[in-house]
Structures are given as C-alpha cells and as structure tokens.
A and B are shown apart, each in its own frame.
Chain A
Amino acid sequence: KAGVTQTPRYLIKTRGQQVTLSCSPISGHRSVSWYQQTPGQGLQFLFEYFSETQRNKGNFPGRFSGRQFSNSRSEMNVSTLELGDSALYLCASMEGVGTRFDEQFFGPGTRLTVL
C-alpha cells in the first residue's frame, strides 16, 4: 500500500495570505489527523476528521480549519497567515474504527514558510 502523501511538500507565503494543504491517507483509512510541528512547541494536534466529520479539535485559533472528503482525502486551510504559522504540517492517517492499537501513520509533511 502507498503511504500517506502530502502536497505540496514546500510552500512559501506572505503574511495575510491564506494557504491550503492536502493529504491523501493510506487506502482504507478513514481517519485523518493534522499536527503542527515547530522547534519551540514541538508536535501539536490540530484536528482529526473521520468519515467527513471533525471528531477532535486541538487548541488552535479559528484561522485553522479543515475538511475531509468522501474518499477520505483531507485538506487544511490557514487564513490570514502570521509569521508564527511557519511550521512543518503533518498529516496522519489510521483505520479509525476502534481497533485495540490503532496506529497513526504520518506523511512527510508540508514545510510552510511565512514571510
């Protein structure tokens, strides 16, 4: 099976712009989670989608949003970009149907730089 893919891999934006990142989960996985990774704050959970519904949400401002499509692919959007949004954005997928050990498989991430 192909792994989790994220596009684009690198992105440069300026303050005030908005950005959309895309994630394609492993085939058959219905849950997609998004994380932000920065040197200062580490890995922080943004939100999780399961069957097109947001199931969990982290402590991020409303500028961060996401959605999931019927084929389980997911997008996240950040509006009105700030310098502090520069980070590696990671997507993780899992089966999501309550197995005993439900492993999250991470993609390579999208490196967002805000100038």
Chain B
Amino acid sequence: QQQVKQSPQSLIVQKGGISIINCAYENTAFDYFPWYQQFPGKGPALLIAIRPDVSEKKEGRFTISFNKSAKQFSLHIMDSQPGDSATYFCAASMRHYGGSQGNLIFGKGTKLSVKP
C-alpha cells in the first residue's frame, strides 16, 4: 500500500521559473519529511527536510511547505536552473524505538526538466 503519494510524475519548467512538487501522506504517525534529489547513475541526495512542528522551511532556492491538517507537503524550487534537472523524491518516516528513523517511505518521484 503506497503511503506517500507524489505529483506530478513529470514537470517541465522554464529557466528562472518556479518548480512545485506535491506530496500527500496517510499515516499521521509520520514525523520526518525529507526531499531527495537523484541524478542518473547516482544515489539520492538529501535536499531539505522538515518536521511537522513547523509549516515552512527554506534553504537557499528550496522551500518545503507543510500542511499538517491536510497531511500534505510540497517542495518549491525558486529560480529553477537547468542544473536542477533531476528526479525528486519526497519521503516520510516515523521514529522507532531508539529514536531514529531508518525506514523511509518514498513517493514515486517527479522527473523535473528545466529548459534553458
């Protein structure tokens, strides 16, 4: 059963534009929501992450918006660049005993293409 739904599957944005990717989750026990970026032939790399006690987190051109009541979160990429062209994955996890969250549930991914 898919627990994190991601949309859109693919996205084409002009250079300088805003890229927006959305995710929705079902399990209210999730308490950690990261976004990963993956280039072909590489493993995913963490972009930015958020916990449900804040509604927004910004790091450079990347912003996560979080809506706890709607069980949704989104990634905004401002001033998108051709180098941002990659596949983006949202994920969620919950703390297990011992306090860590080693079990990430991933969305299906969004392939972003930024046109020059």
B18 to chain A, nearest CB (A): 25
Chain B binding surface SS class: loop
Which of A55, A90, A96, A103 has a CB less than 8 Å from the CB of B49?
A: A103
Contacts of A94 in B (CB 8 A): 100, 102
B45 within 8 A of A: yes
State whether A43 touches B100 (Cβ < 8 A): no
Count, chain A residues at interface, CB 8 A: 31
Q: When each residue 83-115 of chain A gets 1 if its CB lies under 8 Å from chain B and 0 otherwise, what string results? A: 000000010101111111111111111000000
Bound together, the chains give a CA A90 to CA B91 distance in angstroms of 15
Contacts of B44 in A (CB 8 A): 43, 90, 106
Knowing A42-B107, A101-B51, A108-B41, say if A48 contacts B102 (CB, 8 Å): yes
Give the number of A-B contacts (CB < 8 Å). 79
B43 within 8 A of A: yes
A58 within 8 A of B: yes
Most buried by B among A92, A102, A104, A109: A104
Q: How large is the interface on B (under 10, 10 to 19, 20 to 34, 35 or more residues)?
A: 20 to 34
B105 within 8 A of A: yes
State whether A45 touches B51 (Cβ < 8 A): no
B60 within 8 A of A: no
A72 within 8 A of B: no
Bound together, the chains give a CA A106 to CA B32 distance in angstroms of 17
State whether B102 touches A106 (Cβ < 8 A): no
B99 within 8 A of A: yes
B15 within 8 A of A: no
State whether B103 touches A33 (Cβ < 8 A): yes
State whether B98 touches A50 (Cβ < 8 A): yes
A104 to chain B, nearest CB (A): 7
State whether B100 touches A106 (Cβ < 8 A): no
Binding site for A on B (CB under 8 A): 32, 34, 36, 41-46, 49, 51, 89, 91, 95-96, 98-109
